[in-house]
Amino acid sequence: MEPETKKKIAQIALELFTKYGYTQTSMRMIAEKAGISKPAVYYHFPDKESLFLGIFEYGLQYVNESMETIEKSDQTATQKIREIIRVRVAEIGKHKSISRFITRNIESHIRQVKTTKIQNWISKQSVILFNIVQQGVDSGEFREDLDVSSFVYCLFGGINQLCRDWMHIEDKAPSIKQEERLFDMLMRGALRDKYKSL
């Protein structure tokens, strides 16, 4: 019963944090909405910060594990980048509530809590992308004069913006056409052979 209670608390907290934000959501509100006592909430989560960070960590861990799997695969750098874009968008559909929570809170309410763990998770994504792009340069797949760091900023930002726009504006996930457009625009500046090999 305890794992189910903890899961219920996290789901209710996810809903309330997304709706009201970190500062406006109290442990009392979470307890009332979950239909359990406030001490029961504290039994599973010592404070609001640990509950908030736990939701972030769950969502970011899932993303990072997917990206690590892609990085370790035998695919070319171009194939890995295409797959990361596809998987990131697909994950939004599978984990819509967590994706919405992360997107809406990462820039505002997250300043209210300690961000070391979260920054580490995000930094890990940047390192994975850097390694993939560097693989492309080292293998001769990408231009040898490609500024890897700048390209990673564009790649990371482009993927996140595509996801963020949907979370804030759209009612449905980005289309395959949108994914391909993002991929095409990014890769035109990176590929060595003028993109025709795609």
Please report, in tens digits, the pLDDT of each residue of the chain (198 residues total).
Answer: 466 888 888 888 888 887 887 888 899 999 999 999 999 999 989 988 888 877 777 667 777 888 999 999 999 999 999 999 888 777 666 656 666 666 666 555 555 555 666 677 778 889 999 999 999 999 999 999 999 999 998 888 888 777 766 655 555 555 677 778 888 888 887 777 654 444
Indicate where the chain has its CATH 1.10.10.60 domain(s): 1-46
Indicate where the chain has its CATH 1.10.357.10 domain(s): 52-188
Considering the entire predicted model, what is its pTM? 0.70
Fold topology of 1-46: Arc Repressor Mutant, subunit A (1.10.10)
| C-alpha of 195 from chain center | 28
Q: Does domain 52-188 have CATH number 1.10.357.10?
A: yes
Q: How far apart are CA 77 and CA 104, in angstroms?
A: 30
Amino acid, single-letter form, for residue 159: I
